[in-house]
Structure 1
């Protein structure tokens, strides 16, 4: 199968998916699939590969390919802040099943992979599906290509139209750190759902508008994260972003009050 990722740029599906464990960098709101473990290794990785990448103020999704064999060697996929409503999320087709596979670029040149705009959340946030737009839900998917464990690209009419992460709680971490290989605690799964509510619309808009009920939920989540006794690696990843929201919106007076 040949896939279009950007206008005029294509890649061919192979039988070799990435073996790297995904990292759901919660503070960065990005799922990363790569072997680099620090900034130095990341910079070297960018020099040695080609594809779509962040550049200055531009932050597209990232797919990086090896210069020699043009094989996919890493990815960085950004979570949208716009949450689809429950009715639209329920329209997400269950078929076809995920087929493991890698990608080989048809030519060695850079391209730009647009970020997705809509987040569809399965019940309990067992799967996060990120779509180019909601029009994707109007027609069947052609394929789901599992480029790494629990990460799949969604294909429609030969074009990549989104991606999904199964069991996101398992892969919670920060920055370059590897996720905890142990299963997440049940309480962590519940906290992930509450945190996802707070960092996506419509609740995020209420937090930014300093709606009292939304700020109460934000403070309660912050307190629950600080007092959770187990699974601290994952919980601290959630807390890093929630604590920033508390500082920005719940701890500071509103602009009207400052005046």
Structure 2
């Protein structure tokens, strides 16, 4: 199967998906699928790969292909800033089964891969879905390409139009650290869905505007994370981001 990746790159599927465990860095709202373990490793990889990257004045997803084999080597996705509420039936409409595969670029050259613009995460955080446009859900998908464990590219009309990760709480981490090997507590999944909505528009805009209901929800989530007894490491990752939001914008700062 051949697909268009970004503005002009044509790639074909292979039978070799990435095997790296995804890392959902909640502090920077990015999903890292790569073998490198730190920013220095990411920089070192650049000389041996080609693809899309965040260059000056650009806001691209990071798709890097090996210069020798032209096969996908790593990917970094960024969660967009706009949360959208979607009826359950709409997200489930005409969704093909995920097919595990890798990608091989048709040519060794740089290209642009603009970031997605909207995201949705249901209350139970079963999936994080990021799309170029919400109207994508009104049309059938051609394919869901599982390029890494629980990570899929969404293909429509022959082009990549978004990405998803199943059970995102499972891969929660801070920076480049490996996620916890254990399954997340159900409470963590609920808090993750709440936090994603709180740190994105339109709710975060209401927080900054001192909206009473938005602040009630923000403080309730922070309290729930502070009091959560199980799955403490993941809970602290979420609480760290929410606490910084409170510190930065609290209309009633504590002395």
Q: What are the ranges of 5 or more consecutive residues in structure 1 without an aligned counterpart?
A: 254-259
Which string of whole-angstrom CA distances, capped at 9 and with x for unpartnered residues, describes residues 111-140 of structure 1? 110111111223512011111102212210
The separation in 1 between residues aligned to 2:233 and 2:57, in whole angstroms, is 30
Q: 1:245–1:123: structure 2 CA closer, same or farther, 3 Å change rule?
A: closer
Note if contact 1:25-1:237 (Cα within 8 Å) is conserved in structure 2.
no
1:125 partner SS:
coil
2:3 partner SS:
strand
1:64-103 equivalences under 5 Å are: 64-87=64-87, 90-92=89-91, 93-103=93-103
The worse-fitting range, judged by mean Cα deviation, of 132-141 and 231-240 is 231-240
The separation in 1 between residues aligned to 2:119 and 2:89, in whole angstroms, is 12
1:135 partner SS:
helix
2:16 partner SS:
coil
Q: What's 2:244 paired with?
A: 244
The separation in 2 between residues aligned to 1:234 and 1:94, in whole angstroms, is 33
RMSD of aligned Cα (Å): 1.7
The separation in 2 between residues aligned to 1:67 and 1:243, in whole angstroms, is 43
1:220-259 equivalences under 5 Å are: 220-250=220-250
Note if contact 1:219-1:250 (Cα within 8 Å) is conserved in structure 2.
no
Q: What's 1:257 paired with?
A: none
Q: What's 2:117 paired with?
A: 117
The worse-fitting range, judged by mean Cα deviation, of 138-147 and 34-43 is 34-43
The separation in 1 between residues aligned to 2:6 and 2:193, in whole angstroms, is 32
2:111 partner SS:
coil
User: Structure 1-normalised TM-score?
Assistant: 0.91
Q: 1:175–1:56: structure 2 CA closer, same or farther, 3 Å change rule?
A: farther
Note if contact 2:173-2:237 (Cα within 8 Å) is conserved in structure 1.
yes
User: Structure 2-normalised TM-score?
Assistant: 0.92
1:76 partner SS:
strand
Q: Which runs of 4+ in 1 moved over 6 A?
A: none
Note if contact 2:8-2:111 (Cα within 8 Å) is conserved in structure 1.
no
Tell me how far 1:96 sits from its aligned partner: 0.6
Note if contact 2:123-2:190 (Cα within 8 Å) is conserved in structure 1.
no
Note if contact 1:25-1:31 (Cα within 8 Å) is conserved in structure 2.
yes
1:200 partner SS:
coil
Tell me how far 1:86 sits from its aligned partner: 2.6
Confirm or deny that 1:218 pairs with 2:218. yes
Q: 1:143–1:212: structure 2 CA closer, same or farther, 3 Å change rule?
A: same
Q: What's 1:157 paired with?
A: 157
Which string of whole-angstrom CA distances, capped at 9 and with x for unpartnered residues, describes residues 192-216 of structure 1? 1221221123322211211122112
2:152 partner SS:
strand
Tell me how far 1:226 sits from its aligned partner: 2.9
Note if contact 2:144-2:154 (Cα within 8 Å) is conserved in structure 1.
yes
The worse-fitting range, judged by mean Cα deviation, of 225-234 and 29-38 is 225-234
